[in-house]
Structure 1
Amino acid sequence: MKNILLLTAILSGTCAFAQEKAKSDTVKTKSIEGITLTKQVFKKQSDRFVYDVAASPVAKGNTTFDLLKQTPLLSTTDDKTLKIAGKNNALIYINGRKTNMDAESLTQFLKNTPAENIQKIEVITVPGSEYQVESSDGIINIVLKKKMSDGLNGNMRMANTQNKYNSSSASFSANYRKGKLGISANLNGGENIQPQSYILRNGTNMVKNESVGDIDDPNKYIGGYINADYQLNENSNLALSWNTSANKSYNSTIDLLNTLTKYDNNGNLISTDFTRSKNRENSRSYNNSLNLNYELKLDSLGSKLNVNAAYLNYKRFQYSDNNTLVPGPLEDFSQHGKKIIQDIPQIINNFSGTVDYIQKFKKDLTFSAGGNFNKTKTDNDSKNYTYSYDENGNQTELKPDFNHFIYDENIYGVYVTLEKKFSDKFSGKIGTRYEITNSIGTADNPQNTNPDMQHQKIVRNYNNFLPYLSFNYVINDKNNISYSFSSRMRRPSFWELNPVRNIITEFNYTQNNPFVKASSTYNQELTYMYKNSYFLILNHSLFKDVITQVPLQRKIVENNIEYQQLAYIRTNFGTKQEMSAMVGVQKSFFKQYLTTNFNIGIQHNINDGTLNTDPTTGQVFDTYVNNTKSTSLIIQTNNTIRLDKKKTWFFGINYFYVDKQQIELGMLKNLMSLDLSIKKNWNDWTFALNVNDVLRTNIVEIEDYQASGNYNFVRNDQYRRGMTLSITYNFGNQKVKKIRDIEAASDDIKNRTR
């Protein structure tokens, strides 16, 4: 059921300083953590912010995800994904390499990696040309401690969460090193029911639709990884990584009561009709990736050659039974009005390779060059069966609709960067990427009455030149200023290209689009820091051909009944600008009894888009216009209070507030959440209790009025208020050296499977 309602996925890229609920295939617990910090806890270096985290009893028993939530410029509002201030997404790197995991496995990794392993966290708000990122994505680089002795260590963790339903999770991880060989492994699993409550309203002053009800999505998941790293000699290493995950979501349900109300020109009620949408879905997904890495150190200055080869296989099978029920003789919705059965599989295969060459010179000069290649094939063989019924509930028609969509894509990329430290105060970096994208999408739909639509071939070939520039100037010991500019592409995810229609109710559906093209993004950022504790960040992002979901409406007459149809169309939608200004502080007070991270900022959105036709079907709707501007206040604060001298008891208070702002779907109303936690460290054990969204205010509401008179309203409650109890045990020799974490060549492709 995760792909049926995609409204909250839109929000994931709209809040600049706090992230909205999105793709719900990842994480579960939320704990707030105190940290003992080094003297310079937060500082600006060349192209990144650095947050130093020393080993301390405060970090003991905490997870990497919890620690990241406390890092300046990072935030989470769904306890599932992380967001960098002013950026659409946060990509996770470990020791300078992108993590070799899909989204779900990555979150489990962060939730089950001990914070004691971390030396520092780097936040790269504007990545350089050497990074394979899209749109305005930023990077979180986790730098692990180097531990030199041989041996075995690891941790076990169990957690139980109670919100509307109860859920549980468990994980086991271990690290082993013997001489030149290092092995790490993780196994995690759990089960939960992801609840949602919806109110959907749309229509005009004469015809109004309302759907109210619940969505329950039960999940059982298991995943893990094995990484092996072998030092061939003093200068070269070979590593092999395998990541796997599986998710089973059977008996997901949508249960909505639909009300169709009609009025005359004078506003008098004509009629009220009721139907019920009862949809049931079974889905399962599998994700496996294999990566081989070779690294060669070329000299003592840090020059090196890095080569990666990877294979990714992703499979998702989705079967849904969507029913529109009408009142029977007893008014009990026992009679079928319409049934739509959907079988929507997706298979993705990807072969990838990357080469990176870094040459360091003695006069603080670094030259980097490299390239990447990605070959991807997606296979989507969708089948729809629509059953119609008469007034007595007898089946009158069966309408099959088959669509076999195959998408082939080849991406070639090369980059060059030059970084120079001109003096102790001034440094700069310049670079560029050149990317070539060739793709062919073929769609076979033999049932289409239009011969031109029975077999379609969509060919896209485009080249992109993507420059990058940054500089950093240290004014004096207390003041630092930096500037960055970058340009990026945002390619559509593979599920966005599959021209499938997902049914919500009889009146509402979502439509994907094989004609979506890549969008362009231009980012600028100016940063000022004072005493490595106080900062000001000014950001501007321009998005062209924005890939988004647009709500289109039109009048429909079916079985002599007129109603207002609402379709969420995936397409390119005009341009958008986001401008933001944020001030913040990261500091400890009262001999580190209180650690606070406080940000407050203003974001200004400018939207400019118009659409009236579904590019996939050619159907014409009423024109939808979004040329509205909005200015929003955003506040985020994380506070940790140490309760005793022995550093064993900690109390946490987190709060965020996002003012209302205009997004593609309409006006997103304000969001806020207050989270509390208490934690106890006892020897190798850690016990934590977390209460999220105490005030139950983290609920999404979107409202839109069009000049044509069309109205659309969405209220989505995902029951964020909940309580989590977790127990963590660390075992073994804590001085074990962590093995190298390797960036997979296919990681940028994995991000598009979500």
Structure 2
Amino acid sequence: MKTPILIAALFFSGLAFAQEKKQETEKTQDIEAVTLKKQVFKKQSDRFVYDVAASPVAKGNTTFDLLKQTPLLSTTDDKTLKIAGKNNALIYINGRKTNMDAESLTQFLKNTPAENIQKIEVITVPGSEYQVESSDGIINIILKKKMSDGLNGNMRMSNSQNKYNASSASFSANYRKDKLGISANLNGGENIQAQEYVLRNGVGNIRNESVGNIDDPNKNIGGYLNIDYQLNEKSNLALSWSSSANKSYNSTIDLLNALTQPDKDGIMGTSYTQTKNKENARSYNNSVNLNYEVKLDSLGSKLNVNAAYLNYKRFQYSDNNTMVPDAFNNFSKNSLKITQNIPQIINNFSGTVDYIKKFKKDFTFSAGGNYNKTKTDNDTKNYIYKYDENGNQLAPEEDFNHFIYDENIYGLYVTFEKKFSDKFSGKVGARYEITNSLGTSDNASPEYSRIERNYNNLLPYASFNYAISDKNNISYSFSSRMRRPSFWELNPVKNIITPDNYTQNNPFVKASSTYNQELTYMYKNSYFLILNHSLFKDVITQVPLQRKYMEGGVEKVSLAYIRTNFGTKQEMSAMVGMQKTFFKQYLTTNFNIGIQRNINDGMLNTDPTTGQVFADYVNNKKSSSIVIQSNNTLRLDKNKTWFLGVNYFFVDKQQIELGMLKNLMSLDVSLKKNWNDWTFALNLTDVLRTNIVEIEDYQEDGNYNFVRNDQFRRGGTFSITYNFGNQKVKKVRNIESASDEIKNRTR
């Protein structure tokens, strides 16, 4: 059940990597011994570089496990990756954004071996040439280059046990023959996403509490096909197609609701109801991209052109029932029934052009543009059924809304990059974006039936890097970005959780602006200090609003999570860390500790979609919190076949838009065995069962709100990976789709 009480997690994309066979010859051992002397972690220009090939951490790991252990990267939910001090992390392969939808990505990163990765680049402040939003950072995975023809691939199966059992499997293959390269993947799985909620809110002496469970069964299948053909020595033509489908039937919400309030004589009492919701949903995501790339000279100048089409469909039907106790205190009597039909269809046509000109004396000029045309169709139908005193269902009240959203985005960018000396380099650039949008509704009042937006944004960028000496490096970056609302955030639909608890999306949400600054100092390519400041204007978030109302002579309290722009926010952080190996590389440690300062400033008391007035919700609170991350890999044998991993993170309590997020921490343990072409792995997550979300908020007028969300993250996963074929196959060229930025907004 995709219940959007909390901010939805970001989506990433991935690609399968073939695991290299272990070579036992004396020659390979000699080469490996030399490779290990490389600098494993270093700062280069506008990015951090983690040389995986020079580190033993990659062996026996999946790609997701490897990313979790990369300096500056972390995860608090074992599903999404974050860069220290950033909102989201976008996954790139060989400098190009991957062409896969989000749900497939999470499974894919966890179902592919990592031995074929050369290095990982962490770009904390992306340049103007990257289409990113807000304070997003980039994780760029560089693959090892393999030149010979042939076929290789891998098969992986895994089984997980949390509250419920889950299984997944994937198959990937990579073929190259002369000028033709083909890469394909098929993956699937099924699981039940379980959650336990405690929801409390109140005004004065009126209190609501809902306690219960959400079970969301999912069956998914997905894959991709990439075909790359070398037209001649200078040009390539590529076609990429990716597809995924998810079926989530019989998702259930089962909550016991308690309303505590005084009666007409002032005597406190509690009444109970039960919420039983059932939802059937399915979604389909298909995209195709045509790419042409031509090399212009021997220095590396090139022209890259993309054209893409994206089609996304989601169909969701829910049956929400409120039950009241009968004479025997069994919840068998119907009190309220709401059925919701919430479809969404998205069509997007996109194009990008990138021109990169390299000159002698280490000077690079880049320019390009993009165009996105998107149409979303949301035909929502709600039916509200009430019952009389005898339990008979009355005629339904209809609440229909057919919302169509058209959007056109035009973007241009230019960058100049110069290496002035062996010590000093710099990069400046800017993006100029034009956005024209029109939202129409044939069921809304006149002031809401047509919402037109036209705005332009100039987004400058600058970065400088200075190598003080061989051991000392300092860099500074500045970037301005904007964040457009996701398409589902614009669809003015109300999602019912309980009769007095719901979420409301908002077609009036406008793009927010972000300004990022970062100062970095690095010592001996092992120790680092990062100072970061981000300013967010018109923050897009959910705001919990409460109001009192009368029903049947009884005073009640309603809680609505309204999606809207909510004031400004500042995030400041200071972090020190290291990436080192000890005891002749038997122990690899990645450790960082820092402090984050959040400053919020926002106030809201009206639902922009209905004009309904609530009590004031004010968030002008500040917080300072400590963040700790420690990832450790211990090699247990001389032959590098057994590995023990011990990972830990701690996030101190901090003020967010919904209130005070209490501290989170998790201890994860893993054991891996490499045996010829096989990898066996056992991963235990959240061993101490401490990774549970709790958010609490108190207002000066006495209003309060509390959310506890347990996603049963403690569990274990056992996986088996087998690699086959010629492991020297050159990877198919990875193509960034013109529609990738739009894909991120379908979630």
TM-score range, shorter chain: over 0.9
Residues 230-280 of structure 1: per-residue CA shift (max 9 Å, x gap): 1111110111000000000000000000000014899x7422110000000
Mapped contact 1:653–1:677 kept (Cα < 8 A): yes
| 1:365 maps to 2:363 | yes
Change (3 A) 1:259 1:23: farther
The whole-number CA distance in structure 1 between the counterparts of 2:408 and 2:294 is 28
Residues 669-696 of structure 1: per-residue CA shift (max 9 Å, x gap): 0000000010111111111111100000
Indicate the RMSD between aligned Cα atoms, in angstroms. Answer: 1.7
Q: Provide the residue aligned with 1:458 in structure 2.
A: 451
Q: Provide the residue aligned with 2:173 in structure 1.
A: 174
Mapped contact 1:101–1:243 kept (Cα < 8 A): yes
Q: Provide the residue aligned with 2:200 in structure 1.
A: 201
Change (3 A) 1:38 1:516: farther
What pairs up with 1:397-408 in 2 under 5 angstroms?
A: 397-408=395-406
Q: 1:314 aligns with which of 309, 312, 315?
A: 312
Mapped contact 1:534–1:585 kept (Cα < 8 A): yes
User: Which amino acid counterpart does residue 519 of structure 1 have in structure 2?
Assistant: S
User: Which amino acid counterpart does residue 452 of structure 1 have in structure 2?
Assistant: P
SS at 2:154 equivalent = strand
What pairs up with 1:689-704 in 2 under 5 angstroms?
A: 689-704=682-697
Deviation at 1:204, TM superposition (A): 2.1
Mapped contact 2:653–2:662 kept (Cα < 8 A): yes
SS at 1:302 equivalent = coil
Q: Provide the residue aligned with 1:49 in structure 2.
A: 48
Deviation at 1:56, TM superposition (A): 7.5
Mapped contact 1:206–1:264 kept (Cα < 8 A): no
Q: Provide the residue aligned with 1:626 in structure 2.
A: 619
| 1:432 maps to 2:414 | no
Deviation at 1:74, TM superposition (A): 0.6
Mapped contact 1:389–1:397 kept (Cα < 8 A): no
| 1:117 maps to 2:110 | no
Mapped contact 1:57–1:648 kept (Cα < 8 A): no
User: Which amino acid counterpart does residue 639 of structure 2 have in structure 1?
Assistant: K
Q: Provide the residue aligned with 1:614 in structure 2.
A: 607
The whole-number CA distance in structure 2 between the counterparts of 1:392 and 1:89 is 53
Mapped contact 1:26–1:104 kept (Cα < 8 A): no
Residues 634-665 of structure 1: per-residue CA shift (max 9 Å, x gap): 00010000001011110000000000000000
User: Which amino acid counterpart does residue 249 of structure 2 have in structure 1?
Assistant: Y
Q: Provide the residue aligned with 1:30 in structure 2.
A: none
The whole-number CA distance in structure 1 between the counterparts of 2:400 and 2:263 is 40
Q: Provide the residue aligned with 1:130 in structure 2.
A: 129
Mapped contact 1:328–1:335 kept (Cα < 8 A): yes
Change (3 A) 1:26 1:239: closer
User: Which amino acid counterpart does residue 423 of structure 1 have in structure 2?
Assistant: S
Q: 1:543 aligns with which of 533, 536, 544?
A: 536
SS at 1:54 equivalent = helix
Mapped contact 1:58–1:647 kept (Cα < 8 A): no
The whole-number CA distance in structure 2 between the counterparts of 1:529 and 1:321 is 56
Residues 321-346 of structure 1: per-residue CA shift (max 9 Å, x gap): 00010112221110111000000000
Gaps of 5+ in 1: 13-21, 28-34
What pairs up with 1:454-493 in 2 under 5 angstroms?
A: 456-493=449-486
Residues 693-725 of structure 1: per-residue CA shift (max 9 Å, x gap): 000000000000001110100000000000110
Deviation at 1:349, TM superposition (A): 0.3
Change (3 A) 1:254 1:662: same
User: Which amino acid counterpart does residue 249 of structure 1 have in structure 2?
Assistant: S
Q: Provide the residue aligned with 1:592 in structure 2.
A: 585
The whole-number CA distance in structure 2 between the counterparts of 1:208 and 1:106 is 41
User: Which amino acid counterpart does residue 49 of structure 2 have in structure 1?
Assistant: V
Q: 1:334 aligns with which of 317, 332, 335?
A: 332
Residues 450-469 of structure 1: per-residue CA shift (max 9 Å, x gap): x535x610000000000000
SS at 1:743 equivalent = coil
What pairs up with 1:209-608 in 2 under 5 angstroms?
A: 209-263=208-262, 269-445=267-443, 451-452=445-446, 456-608=449-601
User: Which amino acid counterpart does residue 716 of structure 1 have in structure 2?
Assistant: N
The whole-number CA distance in structure 2 between the counterparts of 1:247 and 1:299 is 45
Deviation at 1:412, TM superposition (A): 0.1
Q: Provide the residue aligned with 2:183 in structure 1.
A: 184
User: Which amino acid counterpart does residue 618 of structure 2 have in structure 1?
Assistant: V
The whole-number CA distance in structure 2 between the counterparts of 1:67 and 1:385 is 48
SS at 2:157 equivalent = strand
| 1:746 maps to 2:745 | no
The whole-number CA distance in structure 2 between the counterparts of 1:55 and 1:519 is 41
Deviation at 1:57, TM superposition (A): 7.1
Q: Provide the residue aligned with 1:643 in structure 2.
A: 636
Deviation at 1:559, TM superposition (A): 2.3
Residues 94-115 of structure 1: per-residue CA shift (max 9 Å, x gap): 1111111111122233233331
Deviation at 1:63, TM superposition (A): 1.9
User: Which amino acid counterpart does residue 628 of structure 1 have in structure 2?
Assistant: K
User: Which amino acid counterpart does residue 743 of structure 2 have in structure 1?
Assistant: K
Mapped contact 2:11–2:102 kept (Cα < 8 A): no
Mapped contact 2:515–2:536 kept (Cα < 8 A): yes
SS at 2:742 equivalent = helix
SS at 1:334 equivalent = strand
The whole-number CA distance in structure 2 between the counterparts of 1:500 and 1:37 is 56
Deviation at 1:55, TM superposition (A): 7.1
The whole-number CA distance in structure 1 between the counterparts of 2:580 and 2:440 is 56
Change (3 A) 1:353 1:38: farther
Deviation at 1:68, TM superposition (A): 0.9
The whole-number CA distance in structure 2 between the counterparts of 1:57 and 1:130 is 33
Mapped contact 1:338–1:387 kept (Cα < 8 A): yes
Mapped contact 1:61–1:729 kept (Cα < 8 A): no
What pairs up with 1:641-680 in 2 under 5 angstroms?
A: 641-680=634-673
Change (3 A) 1:25 1:536: closer
Deviation at 1:6, TM superposition (A): 3.0
SS at 2:390 equivalent = coil
The whole-number CA distance in structure 2 between the counterparts of 1:365 and 1:136 is 27
| 1:720 maps to 2:718 | no
Number of residue-to-residue matches in the alignment: 729
The whole-number CA distance in structure 2 between the counterparts of 1:23 and 1:396 is 43
Q: Provide the residue aligned with 2:678 in structure 1.
A: 685
Q: Provide the residue aligned with 1:16 in structure 2.
A: none
SS at 2:449 equivalent = strand
Q: Provide the residue aligned with 1:100 in structure 2.
A: 99
Change (3 A) 1:186 1:54: same
Deviation at 1:560, TM superposition (A): 2.2
Deviation at 1:556, TM superposition (A): 1.4
Mapped contact 1:57–1:681 kept (Cα < 8 A): no
Change (3 A) 1:58 1:538: closer
Deviation at 1:282, TM superposition (A): 0.1
Mapped contact 1:61–1:685 kept (Cα < 8 A): no
The whole-number CA distance in structure 2 between the counterparts of 1:37 and 1:106 is 31
What pairs up with 1:15-26 in 2 under 5 angstroms?
A: none
Change (3 A) 1:59 1:23: closer
Mapped contact 2:196–2:213 kept (Cα < 8 A): yes
Residues 549-587 of structure 1: per-residue CA shift (max 9 Å, x gap): 000000011222211100000000000000000000001
Residues 371-411 of structure 1: per-residue CA shift (max 9 Å, x gap): 00000000000000000112321123410111000000000
**What TM-score results when the alignment is normalised by the length of structure 2?**
0.96
The whole-number CA distance in structure 2 between the counterparts of 1:561 and 1:171 is 56
Change (3 A) 1:121 1:298: same
Mapped contact 1:473–1:480 kept (Cα < 8 A): yes
Deviation at 1:37, TM superposition (A): 5.2
